[in-house]
Chains A and B, each alone.
Chain A
Amino acid sequence: MENALALTALNKSFPSHKVVDGISLNVPKGCFYSLLGPSGCGKTTILRMIAGFAEPDSGEINLNGKRLNGLRPYERPVTTVFQSYALFPHLTAAENIAFGLERRGEKPAEIAPKVKRMLELVGLEHRADRVPANLSGGEKQRTALARALVVEPELLLLDEPLSALDPALRKRVRLELKQLQKQLGITFLFITHDQEEALSLSDQIAVMNKGKIEQIGTPQEIYLAPATRFVAGFLGAVNWVDGIGIRPESTRISRQKPAEPTKSTTAKVVTSTFLGDCFHIETTTENGTAITAQVAFNEEPFAPGESVHVYWHASDELPVRG
């Protein structure tokens, strides 16, 4: 597939440390691409360099074959959905959405129908004349999204756009965001520290740590075949048994020694936590390794202090290299 965005050997240092360390990645056209990593890993700095708010010390930023380095933010065919939304408080939702079109010198007669269509697309027709102070969190988020999308950018940057929403709303908006991206076919570069968000939304994920890329792949690839211990641990809980990683949902537990040919070890139950859809059973082996197993909600509960066998299939071991 043709690439929209290409970052080549991007470097950026702040006085205290190197925030972006030799980043190269390609974002295919129309892709929902996520940069996933803990705060301070450099993902926001990468976004700011693509948008033009910061310049890389070295390296290239190319978008659809055009070099972006050195261009002012207003010269780049890129828009951003900010974490804080950064809506203009003196303008209504419709005026906020029209802002970018006006700056491009479009005439009011061309702008009005585009704003109307965009308001319909994000379901805010009834909120067109409200200023941001009178919009709910979700409505602000959708206004910010509409404002950035209406100018038909070659690339949309999203800086943790869901983090200010409450959890229930976040899941719904997530679905809407994914649908919108597929519908419009615009390339999305999504910045997040939330692995669930990245896994559920993305076509491709680049996992970052300390200014470097740890792994690039589809959600399944990075979850099921993490390249490094960091990736394995960042994407979900992992039991580390003699240097081998097994996710709790692949770890089984029983009172009898398992008959089938599996890897097993004896352990004692430490705690058993009921989570509604499952139990998390924390155990510890004789040599002190902690292993957590996820057990179905309808199984007979295990009690703390009970001696059990913990086992797993070799095929479920994470093929971690580094």
Chain B
Amino acid sequence: MSELLARDLAVGYGKTPLISEISLRVRSGEIVAVVGPNGAGKTTLLKTVAGLLEPQGGALFLDSQDFQTVRPSERAKRIAVMTTARAAAEFATCRDVVSVGRYQFTGVMGRLSAADRAAVDGALQTVGAQELSDAEFDKLSDGQKQRVLLARALAQEPGVLILDEPTGFLDVGYKLEFIATLKRLARDKKIGVLMTTHEIELARAAADSAVCVSADRRIDRVGPARDVLTNDYVETLFNIPRGEFGRTYGERSPSRGSEPALSAFSASHSNRPGAKFLMIQGTMSNVGKSLIAAGLCRVFKQDGYRVAPFKSQNMALNSYVTADGLEMGRAQVMQAEAAGIAPSVLMNPILLKPTDDCGSQVIVNGKVVGNMRAKEYFAYKTKLLPDICAAVDKLAAENDIIVIEGAGSPAEINLKANDIVNMGIAKLVDAPVVLVGDVDRGGVFAQLLGTLELLDPDERARVTGLIVNKFRGDKSILDPGLAELERRSGIPVVGVVPYAELNLDDEDSLSERFARVSSAAVNVGVVKFDHIANFTDFDVFEQIPGAAVRYVRRPSELVGLDLLILPGTKNTIADMRRLTETGLESAILKYASAGGPVVGICGGYQILGEEVSDPHGAESGGRARGLGLLPVATEITPEKRRRQVEGTFVESTGILAALRGAAWSGYEIHMGRTRPTDPALAEWTSEGSGYCRGNIYGTYVHGLFDRKEVVSRVVGALAKRKGIELTLDGVADYAAIKEREYDRLAQILRESLDMTAVYKTIGANR
């Protein structure tokens, strides 16, 4: 199972690339044909993709690995090239010829092992040439030779097979036989096939997709072969007089006259078991893409489809941590809720957390990769393409429809190269695009038409519908404008969505993020330890309208927090050291000395103390100084304590005094014992499981806040301190409220959008 992926690849020999901006993908089991006139550079393209020529630019990936880093010896086991160059080996038998394919598998003298011999026989058998094994290669017919050369390539046991004009020498009988063999290989052995061919009819019949290189050396069109290679298009590509191709080869042009991108889409995905795609792009930030995507997720869910949201890259400070401890953007969490499924990092493989004006922390698949300046990231991001593809593929395998959200505007012409969030993704998965404009901010027609104007023709062809969002008032006022918009763009307006106030976690863009952070009544910060554990402890805060949870990694992120939580960690001593190194330690101490409340849970509790020692080496060994905020000391012991517990808040000091006497339930899971070093220290949670002093609280109990009265008292107390009255009735019903809101959103979309057109666009039947 191999996959080859090229993005904005430039190929050629000299200094100026012969063809550039090549984006193509060969999936396992798929046949991709490269067609185009002579001299367009098809062979150069193949050679580059096969690793025989250095790429002149762009990125090339083999199984998600940067092609440049794949060693040639490794490459030869994954990609086989079938060359048509006549062999010079006089007297060589077919078996000899095929055996050469085992080059990378044999030792220094090239002797074949039993496994090698079996592979050679297997390859000969696969192409039906076993009876030719001992025949002299030079004396075979062309058709037989081609079969043996194919066997030689198969002896490499490749995932991807590259062929240059494989049927060139063959008569029609051999041609058909050869193509049948190729199709069988792709189907049964899951081999991805990339080949150049001059046989248009053959490419139409055999290839899953076609990559068309035009005479002026551009990738002119990519899509399902039978849809792209219409007679009309072939005539354009090869500069044949109108109608000539059809007259000579017969009028067999499958989807003549239909919108190429649209039909291309439905065909390519209807014959694959995976999902159908729909991409929502906006004319700018904050046009309401996220909500429309969420609403569509809910509509599709209601209509009985398995649907998942996707956005390749989010830029947001406030992230969500999934059940498996990975960080992702919140918009896709909301959309996942609307889709009725659990959020997963697959839905948002790249998260950028801005650190300052021109730098961000880069999080890939939920894990921190590092900090990068904007420029660095710009260069780095193409390397993330395989991660994006992998994420989309996994989602597509498990769902019927994937709703993809774009970011910002697709028409940022300064950033168009190496785009991985808008049209780049749409092309990658071959998704139709619906473009959303914001009427509330004015100039919606200019937004939509201007955006379309700045798109390349192939990108524009992807846009199958327009949406006017956030409209207030009488829609009939808009109608003349909409008619003109449709006339000028040639793209239908699929709906005008009214402005709606929704009680949802809607936006994730930079500007709104800051707005939201300051407008949330209560901000709870959770220190994102490297070895963070049991973070579901804080989900309960998410359920309260007006409370926001954010994960904190850097000192600056502590600003504006109403409560800081040190969560559990799987490695207390290592994470304590990290706190010191990152400067969070002094920031936390400063925050605490200013009277900010700090709660430590489990490992976080241990860190709040004076010292943590690990004499038995249960975690990383050694001893570490704690933050010294609570006069307790911890000794980590090898045995693990794991139990369900119930109790009360025996005492509660400081800001959280309201907790005193409240009952809690939860569980303990930890290694180690923590004892107060000051006998007068107040017991916080019963049975000595936690202590507090002033605004510093520590406990071993996970899930401490889960009970409604506990969390509402905590949030209430924090809000009160800020002078805000929060209505906390129906706290536990927040999930239900959100459900209602998603349904309302879906209803709004059903009423305002032409859903039949939307379903037609994505190629699904209602």
Query: A and B from one assembly?
Result: no
